[in-house]
Structure formats: C-alpha cells, structure tokens
Amino acid sequence: MITDINIEPARHSFENLSSRPKKDAKQLNTIIETIYDQVARDGDRALKDLTQQFDNCTVKEIQVAENEINNAGKNVSDELKSAIRRAKSNIEKFHTAQLSNTIDVEITEGLRCMQKSVAIERVGIYIPGGTAPLFSTVLMLAIPASLAGCKEIILCSPPDQAGNINNVILWTAQLCGVTHIYKLGGAQAIAAMTLGTATVPRVAKIFGPGNQYVTAAKSFAQHYGVAMDMPAGPSELLVYADETCVPRYVAADLLSQAEHGIDSQVILVANDTKFVDAINIEIDKQLQELPRREIAKEALVNSKAVVLNEVVSAFDFINEYAPEHFIIASETPERYIDKIVNAGSVFLGNYCPESAGDYASGTNHTLPTDGWSKSYNGVNVDSFSRKITFQSIDKRGILDLGDTIITMAENENLQAHANAVKIRLMDLENKGV
Amino acid sequence: MITDINIEPARHSFENLSSRPKKDAKQLNTIIETIYDQVARDGDRALKDLTQQFDNCTVKEIQVAENEINNAGKNVSDELKSAIRRAKSNIEKFHTAQLSNTIDVEITEGLRCMQKSVAIERVGIYIPGGTAPLFSTVLMLAIPASLAGCKEIILCSPPDQAGNINNVILWTAQLCGVTHIYKLGGAQAIAAMTLGTATVPRVAKIFGPGNQYVTAAKSFAQHYGVAMDMPAGPSELLVYADETCVPRYVAADLLSQAEHGIDSQVILVANDTKFVDAINIEIDKQLQELPRREIAKEALVNSKAVVLNEVVSAFDFINEYAPEHFIIASETPERYIDKIVNAGSVFLGNYCPESAGDYASGTNHTLPTDGWSKSYNGVNVDSFSRKITFQSIDKRGILDLGDTIITMAENENLQAHANAVKIRLMDLENKGV
C-alpha cells in the first residue's frame, strides 16, 4: 500500500512533493570517459574486449549476420508475432498522422519562406538486455524512424553469454526496418555509435533506454556532436482518480508501474481520502499474486498519495509534478484535458491502462521522466527528422525588403550585412528594374 | 581572400575538411559551478554582486520597471521602428504557418490516439550585451514564444555601466510579448533563470546566444532540469556557387558572415576554380570598405574554398559539413533542393543574401552550428511547446486490443502490466459486454 498520504497539502509544498530522488551522475563520468577513450583508440578490438569484460561473452562478429536475422522468426511463437504485428499496425497509424507537410508561404511578392521535414540520415537505437527482451521498444523507435525516412537505422543490444541477441528483438527489428544490428551493450555500444569503428558506423542521434551507464554515455555523446532523444530517469505514473474511478483498476495500474523497478515513481492524486483507502486495499490484495511483488513493494515505499478536493489545486499539483505517464481514472476524463500543461502521455478513462500505451495503442512509450515533460515531449516522428527552412527571394522581393534589412543591420553595427543587400539593390536600380 | 583552396578533394577527406576547431569546455565548468552555487546560496544578492563584478554596474532593481519599458520607444527612431515592425510581420507570418493542429486518429473502434501541442509555460530568453544591441534575436525568440502561447516570457540582458538595457531591446521586447525583463548578463543570468530567485522566476527552457560562459551555463542548466534550445558554436555560412552565380554578391555574403567574429566559419564550394578566383578578387575589393575588416580578415584565414565539379560530390561534401546557413548562389537554385540533407536555413538564388534571413525574411536565425544541423533544426514554434499524446479507450476498445497487450506484456515478463488489462477484461466478460 501507499503509506505516504498527503491530505490537502498547501500549494507552497507542491514543488517539494514533486521532487524526485536526486542522483549524482558525476562519479560515472570517469568510467564513461575511459570507455570512450578505449573505443576511440582500439575500435572493434575494444568493443570485443569490453563485451568480454561486461557481458561475459566472446563475440566473433559484432554485426549480426543476415542468416541469424532470417532464422530468428522460427523461434518466435505465432501468437506473439501476431500481437507484435497488431501493435505495429496501431503505432504506424498514429505515427503516420504525425508526418508533417512542407510549409510554403508567400510572405510578400518575390519572397517565399518554406519549411521542409528531412529525415536524419543515420540514427542509433539502443535496446537493453537482461531477463526480458524489450521488443516493444524496438517497435517504438524503429517504426517512427522508418516512417520519417531515416536511411540507416542501427540497433545495438547486448548479447547473452552464448553470443546471441534475443530472437524476438531480431525478428521485430527486421519487421520494423532496422538496417544494421550489432551485438553490443552498455556504454561501449553508445561509444561505438558515437565515434564509429571499422564495423559500427557513426550515427547522428541515439535513442533508447538503458541503465545509468548507458544514460551517462548518451549524455557524453554530445561532446562528440551526437544528439540523444532526451534525458532519462526512472519510469513514472501519476493517476488522478475522481469519484467515478474504479479502485481495482487504479490499483492494477499503479502496480503495473511499480513492478518496473524499485526506483519507479508511483503517485496517486485523488479528490477524497476514501478513494485512496479503497485503492490501497486493492493494491495489497493484487500485490500477493505478482511474480515481481518484491520489486513493486519497494517501489511503493517511495510512492505518494495526494488528496486535493479542488480540481484546480489537483491539476496545479499534477502540472508541477509533470508526470511521464498520466492516467485520468474517471468516467468523464475529457473534462480535464484542457487543464493538462505538463505530461508525457495521457490515458483517458477507466478502460485505458498504461500498459495499452506501453505496447499497442499507437502512442509512443519513449517519454520524458523526472519532470522533463515541462520542456520535452515523447519520441515522435519529428524526433527522427529536422525542419529545414528555406527562403527564396527574387529581384522584386529584395527591392521591397532591402531597406528594412539595411536599417536593421546598420543599427546592429553590422555593415557587411547591410552591404550584401546594398550591392544587389545598386545593381537593380542601375538596371532600372 | 580565401587562401585555403581545395581542388577536387577525395571523398575520404570530406570529414576532415568539415571539421570545426575544437574547444575544451571542461575548464569553464568550475567557474560556472561556482556561479551557480553563489546564486543558489545568495539569490538576488548574488546576482547584484556578480553584476557589479562582471558588468561593472551597480543595479538597484534587477527587474526593469514598467516606466523604463514604456519610455524606451522614445529613444528609437521611427525608421528603425518601422523596419522592426516589418520584420515582425514577416516572421509572424511564417511562424504562424508552423503552428500544428491537434492530431486525432481513430485507430480502431473504441480506441483513439491524439497529439496536442501545448506551450511551455515559462521560457527564458538571453540577449547578449556589447556594443551592438541584438534586437533581431529578440524578434526571433519572442515571436515564436508568443505564437506558441507561452504564458511567461522572461528576458535577461546585461545592463550597461549606467544600469540600463538598450532601448531598442526594451522596445522590441515589449512589442513581441516579453512579459518580464531583467538586467542580468552572463552565466549569472542563466543561473538565475535555472534556479529561480526571489525576483527572477525559474523557467523550463532557455533560449538565445551568448559567449562561452553563457553557453557553458546553458549546458549546466540541464543538471537542474532546465532545457536549452540547442548546443552553440560560432556562426557559419557555406555558399555553393555554380556557373550562374554573381561573384560580387557571393563575396558580399561571405564577408557578412566573416564580420561576425574572428571564429566565424566561411566556406565556399564552387564547381570551377575560376569562380573561386573571381569571388576572391571581389572579397579583397569589398573588404577595404568594411568598418569590421580586421575581424573579417582574421575569419577568412580560417576559411576554406572547395572546388568540386560534380554536383553529387559537392552536395556530399556540403551534407557532411552540415552548414548553419547555406546559400545557393545560382539562377536556378530549385534544382538543388532535394539534394540537401543537413543544413539549418537555406537561401535560394542570387537575390537572397543571408542577411535577409538574419533580420527580416521570416525564417528564424537561431540555427544549429558546428555540424549540429545533422540532428537539430533551428528554433521554430515547436521549440516553445511540447506534443502531448493522449489515448482514449472504451470497453469495446479494450475488449478488442486486450489480448494483444497481454501477450506482449507476458513475453516481456511484466505480469502486472498484463493484469491491468486482465482485470478489466474479466469484469467486462462477467458483465457480458
């Protein structure tokens, strides 16, 4: 159960109630720097050595061979394949709707401005290893990358001790348009995609979740001109429950977040203490049945319930918290939509669990945590492209706008900026255009 | 003139030819950390002390008073006001076209996914001081912030020794919807907007150019959960000149970039050596007349000309360089548009100088430098908002999609994720929905 219950907290305490546990990333930087240096110096040799050291695996070929990929599907059940295909179809449908058209505006006669979305040429996707294969993240990153039009989609994931990447990951990667797969995990995978080696090409942007080493290595990539999707922290869920919530469902949703890890953040905001009590009873009941109940229990220790009867106050708190996932447990969730300022992805109604969005509803599950939804959004098709602007000016256009540019440039003391216009105007006036 | 001329360089040398001078930012971090610590500890007192120390100015009130702002316009000429209004109108027209509609997709019966653009509540804009007032950057940042719907737009700019911010900056800020203006410069301005003090509110994202201290302080803000527009480096221009270019115009454009600072990057790519020679003659001629010729000369020392006769090779090099500003000096620039993969803003044709985009064409001038256009775009309306996703699922929707979610969750060993669906399906099946 959630024991940290805050009833009608004062507004000045919202910031404190929203604070996440602080981590100090500085100590990791020395380790990460050493790994980058090793990869920069020894290339593929370093990657093999580090895989031996950290993954306890002797890799002969870093790149996954075509026949390994082609054979992967044999070991994936038809039921799972069909579920993944269904999820892919939903994710594709929603992300296709995100594709942007070229903007083309005639500002004045002879002056046009345009904005065109152009895919990042080569992107990197990191998929963590571990006991469970995170094939859902392959869907969430490779599908928008493909839709955006990225030419090369590189995927790195750590091999098991036998030197293999999980078959479901391989099968899903091929299904979603990944072009190159490498048996690489941890900071060395990120360093390889950042620096490039004989085998692994350098990418322009790196996406995907990972442990603290992977996260630190992604930040470090910026020193080498490689971007990342967003800053990362432990996964979070905030549920707002009003009088029409279903306590059993809310409890199940909170537990689905709590099972992620002991550092998961679970926040319940309700408009009455009695809903907190009802949900807590359900949490304890459902917890018994969970294989990962020890993890969930520990996560609940750090969790909070906040009771705020006024809707305005509740949403002031929620926006201050800025949750990654935000469930509105209500029969009429629509009436709250316009109050949401800061959130990653929002789940509307009593039949909309977070796990729907984690897997198959169509939205992306790579979302800003740790309050970053105040300034970042989740991964979408735009994350894999850039909006390049264009301006086209002809003789009429520069004759019309020239004086404006000259006046402004001269007032910023940039005479050469003014000259670039003057030299053209002079020619045109001499020609009597 | 440009003396570093590279004729038909081999493809393997493109990366090296594209490399920018490296800076080591690490040494700055100690200085920045000290300033952050001081602002965190002493708040407004620290801001006043640091302004005394770095700007040699005793500031009584950090916030610019309403009457100072209202009086600013008296000291701005009508000619300049009218030019700024004209630029504003063009910038507004193009940035309004960037506003995104809500996306609302019915994925299947009972399952809807939506994406809604929501403005960042409070943003910060930094405008550097110095001899020239950079009012053009006020336009480029405050206009899209206003259009996006940011509720609070904070502007910091260093005061002169008399304790005043330039009148043109004040007048432009008010014109473009800035809500609060502070007399603060350097790293202390960034620290104030990141941490918040009694006077200066904490923002979610910081925009704007600055010297190496400002840039380092913006990066440092990420440790406190505050985002920034993009990584910064010296300004750059690449011109591609084909046989229909006008050498005098190309020379003027290159010089307009070179006058920015001695670290400005100027690159000329031409399809024939004779155009490089013709442009060089013009550079030397025009250079004589420039007030900032000493700066421009130094910048030219680090500049390069690259001759590549094949259009494909030329654009391979240009995309490897990934310029901030890219002029296509040609009578028929349209035929090159589809070859552009990496660039910030593109200027099409012989009558389209970079200074048009710097001030008044309508495009934004806050653009990715240092090769970052491979993964970032320039500032646009989206830079001031987030795309929040929503999913709405009703009973039919979860009955239809439930098995897919359960299969996927169980294959990722996340039983509580599956349970959140099962508990709903069980109810619905019991009720015979």
HEC string of B351-418 equals CCCHHHHHHCCCCCCCCCCCCHHHCCCCCCHHHHEEEEEEEEECHHHHHHHHHHHHHHHHHCCCHHHH
Residues in chain B: 433
Q: What is the pLDDT of residue A269?
A: 98
B332: Cβ–Cβ under 8 A, 6 or more apart, which residues? B244
Helices (H), A340-394: 354-359
Q: What is the pLDDT of residue A26?
A: 67
**In this model, does residue A207 exceed pLDDT 70?**
yes
Residues of A tagged active-site: 324-325
Residue A146 to residues A86, A94, A137, B115, B127, Cα–Cα distance (Å) = 17, 14, 14, 20, 39
* Residues of chain B contacting A417 with CB distance shorter than 8 Å: 256, 259, 354-355, 358-359
User: Catalytic: which of B260, B325, B354, B365?
Assistant: B325
Helix axes B135-148, A395-411, angle to 10 degrees: 110
Mean pLDDT of A65-94: 97
Residue B104 pairs with which residues in a beta bridge? B114
Distance between CA atoms of residues A273 and A238, nearest Å:
16
- Kindly tell me the sign of the dihedral angle through the C-alpha atoms of A243, A247, A251, A257: negative
Q: What is the pLDDT of residue A206?
A: 98
Distance between CA atoms of residues B225 and B195, nearest Å:
10
Residue B351 pairs with which residues in a beta bridge? none
Q: What is the pLDDT of residue A376?
A: 98
Asked if ipTM goes beyond 0.95, one says yes
| H or E element, residue B147 | helix B135-148
The whole-angstrom distance between A173's CA and the closest CA on chain B is 15
Low-confidence ranges of chain B (pLDDT < 50): none
Mean pLDDT over the full length of chain A: 96
B213: Cβ–Cβ under 8 A, 6 or more apart, which residues? B28, B31, B32, B186, B187
Residue environment code for B191-213, b if the CB has 16+ CB neighbours within 10 A, otherwise e: bbbbbbbebbbbbbbbbbbbeeb
Tokens standing for residue A405: 């540019």
Q: How many percent of chain A have pLDDT more than 70? A: 99
Q: What is the pLDDT of residue A84?
A: 98
Question: Which one, of A181, A276, A409, A359, lies nearest residue B360 by Cα?
Answer: A409
Q: Could you read off the pLDDT of A301-333 as tens digits, one per residue? A: 989 999 999 999 999 999 999 999 999 999 999
The whole-angstrom distance between A15's CA and the closest CA on chain B is 12
Q: What is the pLDDT of residue A399?
A: 97
Residue B205 pairs with which residues in a beta bridge? B123, B227
Question: Which one, of A271, A244, A274, A276, lies nearest residue A2 by Cα?
Answer: A276
* Residues of chain B contacting A249 with CB distance shorter than 8 Å: 420, 423-424
* Triad B117, B119, B121: Cα angle to 5°: 150
- The domains of chain A, with CATH numbers, are 5-18+234-362 (3.40.50.1980), 25-231+382-386 (3.40.50.1980), 394-430 (no CATH)
Q: Could you read off the pLDDT of B238-262 as tens digits, one per residue? A: 999 999 999 999 999 999 999 998 9
Question: Residue A377's CB: how many other CB atoms inside 10 A?
Answer: 25
Pairing of strands A103-108, A111-119: antiparallel
A420: Cβ–Cβ under 8 A, 6 or more apart, which residues? B249, B252, B253, B255, B256, B353, B354, B355
Q: Phi-psi category of B32—alpha, beta or left, where left has phi over 0 and alpha has psi -120 to 50?
A: alpha
Mean pLDDT of A361-379: 98
Residue identified by tokens 């030299």 is A423
The residue in chain B having the minimum alpha-carbon distance to the alpha carbon of residue A377 is: B386
Say yes or no for a CB contact (<8 Å) between B370 and A225: yes
**In this model, does residue A17 exceed pLDDT 70?**
yes
A431: Cβ–Cβ under 8 A, 6 or more apart, which residues? none
* Residues of chain B contacting A333 with CB distance shorter than 8 Å: 392
Mean pLDDT of A207-223: 94
Say yes or no for a CB contact (<8 Å) between B227 and A354: no
Confidence of residue A132 (pLDDT cuts 50, 70, 90): confident
**In this model, does residue A24 exceed pLDDT 80?**
no
Distance between CA atoms of residues A275 and A242, nearest Å:
8
Helix axes B273-287, A415-430, angle to 10 degrees: 110
Q: What is the pLDDT of residue A330?
A: 98
Question: Which one, of B246, B244, B241, B245, lies nearest residue B267 by Cα?
Answer: B241
Mean pLDDT of A230-238: 92
pTM above threshold 0.90: yes
Interface test with B, best of A175, A336, A389 (most B CBs within 10 A): A389
Mean pLDDT of A120-143: 94
Question: Which one, of A213, A208, A246, lies nearest residue A228 by Cα?
Answer: A208
**In this model, does residue A433 exceed pLDDT 80?**
no
* Triad B225, B230, B27: Cα angle to 5°: 75
Say yes or no for a CB contact (<8 Å) between B90 and A80: no
Question: Which one, of A405, A417, A400, A421, lies nearest residue B79 by Cα?
Answer: A405
First to last CA, chain A: 80
Helix axes B78-96, B167-175, angle to 10 degrees: 40
**In this model, does residue A351 exceed pLDDT 80?**
yes
Distance between CA atoms of residues B72 and A211, nearest Å:
53
Rounded (to 5) percent helix, strand, coil in chain B: 50, 15, 35
* Residues of chain A contacting B98 with CB distance shorter than 8 Å: 103, 115, 387
Q: What is the pLDDT of residue B15?
A: 94
Q: Which of B80, B382, B408 sits opposite A407 (nearest CB)?
A: B80
Tokens standing for residue B189: 């301005």
* Residues of chain A contacting B133 with CB distance shorter than 8 Å: 411-412
Residue identified by tokens 């169509």 is A362
Confidence of residue A130 (pLDDT cuts 50, 70, 90): confident
**In this model, does residue A25 exceed pLDDT 70?**
no
Say yes or no for a CB contact (<8 Å) between B415 and A79: no
